[in-house]
Structures are given as C-alpha cells and as structure tokens.
Amino acid sequence: MSISIYRGTVVYAAERDKLAAFPGANILVEDGFVKNVLKNLPEELAELPVQDYGNALIIPAFSDLHIHASQYAQRGIGMDKLLFDWLMDYTFPQETKFADLSYAKMVYDTLVADLIRHGTFHASIFTTIHYEASDYLFEKLAERGLYAYTGVVNMDCNSPEYLCETTENSLRNTERFLREHQGARTVQPILTPRFAPTCSETLIQGLGKLAKKYACGVQTHLVESIAEAAWTKDLFPGYRCEAAIYEQAGLLEYGPSVFAHVIFPTGEDIEILKKTKSISVHCPDATANIIAGIMPADALGKRELPIALGTDIGAGPGTAVYRQVSRAVQLSKLKAFFQPEGNGQLSFARAFYMATKEGGSIFDRVGSLEPGYRFNALVLDGLEDDFSPLTPEEKLERFCYGGDDRNIVARYLDGKLINP
C-alpha cells in the first residue's frame, strides 16, 4: 500500500450544477486512488511527506469524447467551409495520407503528447480506415497509460473512392482489430462507423453482430446537420429515426454508445438515447466553425440525457477541452437567445461537469476527485493577480476562458507524475 498526500485547493464537480471547493485541503491518494480530502491530517499521517502546491488548484483531468486523431494536422484550417465542402476539400484528402504508417506515427505521436499537455487523459478517438495506423495509435495511447476507446473507421459507400472499402474488407479489418485489442488495458477497442450515410445497411448490421460477439460499444455521429439528417432519412427510409439504425442493429447494447453532436434529434432519437443510456457529445467550437448548428445541451440535459464535451479535432482548432467548457456556456446563451423555447443557459459548473465527471463516466472511476476515483489530476497555478484575489471557482473559470497549458504545472495519471 502506497499513500501520497497533496496539498492545495481541491475543486471538482460531483453534481451537475455545483462545484465542490476545498481551499487549503490535503488530498490523500492510496495506490493511485483518492482516499479522502481533509482539511487537517490525522495524527497517524502527520509524519508523511506532503507535496504542497500552496494556493494552486487541484482538479480532475479532462475527458474528450470526440476526437478525429487523423485530422490533427488540419486543425484550424478550412474553417470558412461548410460541413460537406470541408470534408471533401480538406478532411478526406488528409485521411488518405494515413495509408503511410510513417506519416501516421508522426501525427499520432504529436497528438498524444498534445492531449497530455492540455490535461486530457481520457478520450474517445476516431482514426481512419487504415488498420496499421489505427493499431499504432491504440498502442501509443496504451503505452502512455491514457484511458481511451478507439477503433478503425467503417466507410463502404457515399465516400471518395480512395477511402471507400468493400463491406467485406471493412468488417474483416474491424473484427481483426477487436480480436487483437481485447484485454484488461486502459485502452479498449470500439466500433466506429463514420456516420450512417457512409455505411451500408449491410455493414451496420454486420457491426451489430460484432458488437455482440466481442461485447463492445460504438462511437459515431448523429444528426449533426440538417442536410446530414435529411440525407440519412433518404438513405434509410425504413427507420423511424437515425438512432434507430444503430439500435435495431444491436449496436447499443454491449458497451458505451457515444454519439457526437446530436444537434437536431427527433423525439424518437431522444427516447432511444435515454433508454440505451447513450452519451451525447457536445463539440461547441467544431459545430460553430462549420455551421452545423448548436446542440440544445440544456434541453437535452433536462431530458436526463448524459452529455459530455469534445474538441472534434480538426473542425475544432485545438485539443484543450477546458476551452470547450467556456464555449459550451457561450453557445448555450446564443441558443437560448435566438431559440428561447425550451432552451436555457448552461451554468459554468454544469459545463465543467460535462468535461470531467460526465465524460469520464464511460471509463473506470475517472473524472472526479471524490473518494474512490482515480487520481487523474491537474495542478493549475498563475490564475490570479496579486491585486485581485479570486475564489477557487473564479480561478477555475478564468482558466477555462483565458488560461492555457502554461497554467498546468503538474499532471498526475493513476497517481503518478507525468509529462507530455
């Protein structure tokens, strides 16, 4: 048994709309898990060494539940395009480069280091159709000890010829990936149909069989734009809503089901997501950049749908999930202003909860600093002026709005100090 003690101002979101703050607290970590947060140390621990961070904040590490790892090299580029033009002009040509493993290694090495630099230790990640590159990313994430789901992307129709697989090859590569990456590791495989229009019904049904065989979950996009929703309806006329395509294939039964964007859900979509305990991922920067729309995050939350945050690299310009916390609040204000019926403003505490505890819920005990959670944590400093002291909550808010990785002075993963 190994006990470590860290002193600072501990802040986390145990509840959806409330931050818990403990100034001058001692956080006890036993074998990588938080044991307790105490104002004063008991006598039996008084002689143990303490890592004292003074007035710095100690917060949970972030979770990013929607990243396109292969788009890292195009982040912040083509932001004047709409969704489908952006895909054709930038994204698909970029993704074909991952047939070259040496290129893939350079991009993925840089991405993983950047995730750690910005305090993202838990993620759900898209790759491409390329097996070797996807395998490399899986192993790289595992090597660094990050918590992640990732898988080869499935695309067998309505895609550029250079990224369009046969149905048989797509299913074969997917099963190989699932078979070769099972095990008790921090990284787990996940089924990754890009989105319904690029997958035939046969492919989606085949993925459903693999979900059952390997007891794994699924990540994809859902009702991201009005055009995409209409296109999906035309391609799959026999389904009552887009979520039903995945539900009827059996893809929502055996592991986490992670749906990015969920901007234009029907009532039937919402009922399926709620029934299957699927998690929706709000990617504020990305959907604003390509004008897909604004997720009705407050309205969906009132329907008791779990909602996490994602950067959606590369439509999102960076890997900082904390920046998506501030953007989520900003966009909720715009949504409520222009579409007030049913839409309210997210609190800062709620957005931070989405970025930490809600997003961390698909992993094993991450996303909070409550007792029993893994000590996956960041230490933040340099967030207040000498002439204007701030409360812990205000310092955290300033970090999410105006801070950056230079404010992260220490990073702990499973209780161990790590560097990018």
Supply the pLDDT for residue 420.
Answer: 93
CATH assignment, 3-61+367-418? 2.30.40.10
d(CA 403, CA 310): 18
Tell me, what's the pLDDT at 50?
Answer: 94
pLDDT for the residue 45:
87
Nearest to 355 by CA among 308, 285, 287: 308
Domain boundaries, the chain: 3-61+367-418, 62-360
CB 187 within 8 A of CB 121: no
CATH superfamily of 62-360: Metal-dependent hydrolases (3.20.20.140)
- Give the pLDDT of residue 335: 95
Measure the CA dihedral 98/99/100/106, to 10°.
20
Whole-model pTM: value is 0.97
Q: What is the mean pLDDT of each run of 10 residues along the chain (420 residues)?
A: 94 96 97 96 88 98 98 93 89 95 98 98 98 98 98 96 96 98 93 97 98 98 93 96 98 97 97 98 94 93 96 95 98 95 95 98 97 98 95 98 98 97
Q: How many CA atoms are closer than 13 Å to the CA of 84, on its beta-carbon side? A: 11
